[in-house]
Structure 1
Amino acid sequence: MTKDPVSIWPLVIVVGVLIAFVMAGLRAKARESSDYGFGGRYIGRIGGGAAIASNWMSAASFLGMAGLLYLHGYFAFAYIIGWTGGYVLLLVLMAGQIRRFGKYTTPDFVGDRYASPAARLIAAVISITISIIYCIAQFKGIGMVFAWLLGSDYTNGLMVGGGAAVSYVVICGMLGVARNQQMQYFVLIVSFIVPLMFLAYKLGYFWILPQFGYGQGVQDLAGEFRIDFASPFAAGSLFQWCALCFTLMVGTAGLPHVLSRFYVVPNIRDARWSLVWGLFFIALIYWSAPAYAVFARLFEARSGAIPDPAVAAKMADIVVLKAAVMGGLPDWLVGILAAGAVSAAFFTVAGLLMTGASSFSHDIYYRLINPQASEARKMAIAKGSSLALAGIVFLLALKPPALIAEITAVAFALAGNTIFPVFLIGIWWGRANHQGAIAGMLTGIVITFSSPLFGGVVPFISTVFPVTASALCGAPLVIAVMIAVSLLTPPPPEEMRRFLAEQVHGHLD
Structure 2
Amino acid sequence: MNWFSLLILVGIGAAVYPHAVQRIFSAKSERTLKRSFTRMAWMPFITAGVVFLVGIIGVSAFPDLSTAQSEQIVGKMASAIANHNPVFYWAMVLLFGGVIAAIVSTADSVLLTFSSIVSKDLYGGVINPEASEQKKILAGKLAGVAAVVVLVMIAWFPPGTLYQIFVLKFELLVQVAPAMIIGLYWNKLQARAVFAGMIVGTILASTLTFAGITFLGVFSGLWGLTVNLIICTVGSLIMSGSASESEEWEEKVAEIK
**TM-score interval (norm. to shorter):** 0.7 to 0.9
Instruction: Pick from 37, 60, 76 the counterpart of residue 322 of structure 1.
Output: 76
Instruction: Pick from 369, 393, 405 the counterpart of residue 127 of structure 2.
Output: 369
**CA shift in 2, pair 1:496/1:267, >3 Å:** farther
Q: Confirm or deny: 8 A CA contact 2:202 2:224 kept in the other structure.
A: no
Structure 2 match to 1:307: 64
Instruction: Pick from 187, 199, 204 the counterpart of residue 447 of structure 1.
Output: 204
Unpaired runs of 5+ residues, structure 2, are: none
- Corresponding letter in the other structure for 1:420: A
**CA shift in 2, pair 1:350/1:502, >3 Å:** closer
Structure 2 match to 1:274: 36
Q: Confirm or deny: 8 A CA contact 1:292 1:320 kept in the other structure.
A: yes
Unpaired runs of 5+ residues, structure 1, are: 1-238, 301-305
TM-score by length of 1: 0.45
Deviates more, 1:389-398 or 1:492-501: 492-501
Displacement of 1:465 after TM fit?
7.9
CA–CA distance in 2 between the matches of 1:432 and 1:377?
32
**CA shift in 2, pair 1:375/1:449, >3 Å:** same
SS of the residue 1:336 aligns to = helix
- Corresponding letter in the other structure for 1:385: A
CA–CA distance in 1 between the matches of 2:220 and 2:228?
11
Q: Confirm or deny: 8 A CA contact 1:362 1:378 kept in the other structure.
A: yes
Q: Confirm or deny: 8 A CA contact 2:168 2:209 kept in the other structure.
A: no
CA–CA distance in 1 between the matches of 2:185 and 2:217?
26
CA–CA distance in 2 between the matches of 1:354 and 1:271?
21
CA–CA distance in 2 between the matches of 1:294 and 1:245?
21
CA–CA distance in 1 between the matches of 2:154 and 2:75?
25
TM-score by length of 2: 0.83
SS of the residue 2:71 aligns to = helix
- Corresponding letter in the other structure for 2:194: A
Matching of residues 341-380 of structure 1 within 5 Å: 341-380=99-138
Displacement of 1:480 after TM fit?
2.4
Q: Confirm or deny: 8 A CA contact 1:255 1:412 kept in the other structure.
A: no
CA–CA distance in 2 between the matches of 1:500 and 1:377?
27
CA–CA distance in 1 between the matches of 2:16 and 2:205?
14
Matching of residues 410-421 of structure 1 within 5 Å: 410-416=168-174, 418-421=175-178
Q: CA RMSD in A?
A: 2.8
SS of the residue 1:462 aligns to = coil
- Corresponding letter in the other structure for 1:279: A
Q: Confirm or deny: 8 A CA contact 1:432 1:483 kept in the other structure.
A: yes
- Corresponding letter in the other structure for 2:227: L
Tell me: higher relative CO, structure 1 or 2? Use CA pairs within 8 A at least 6 residues apart.
1
SS of the residue 1:463 aligns to = coil
**1:495 counterpart = 2:242:** no
**1:287 counterpart = 2:44:** no
Structure 2 match to 1:265: 27
**CA shift in 2, pair 1:369/1:257, >3 Å:** farther
Matching of residues 427-442 of structure 1 within 5 Å: 427-442=184-199
Per-residue CA deviation, residues 416-443 of structure 1 (Å, 9 max, x unaligned), is 1x21012222111122112321232122
Displacement of 1:497 after TM fit?
5.3
CA–CA distance in 1 between the matches of 2:101 and 2:227?
38
Structure 2 match to 1:5: none
CA–CA distance in 2 between the matches of 1:332 and 1:472?
44
Structure 1 match to 2:159: 401
Q: Percent same amino acid among aligned pairs? A: 22
**CA shift in 2, pair 1:470/1:496, >3 Å:** farther
Displacement of 1:243 after TM fit?
1.3
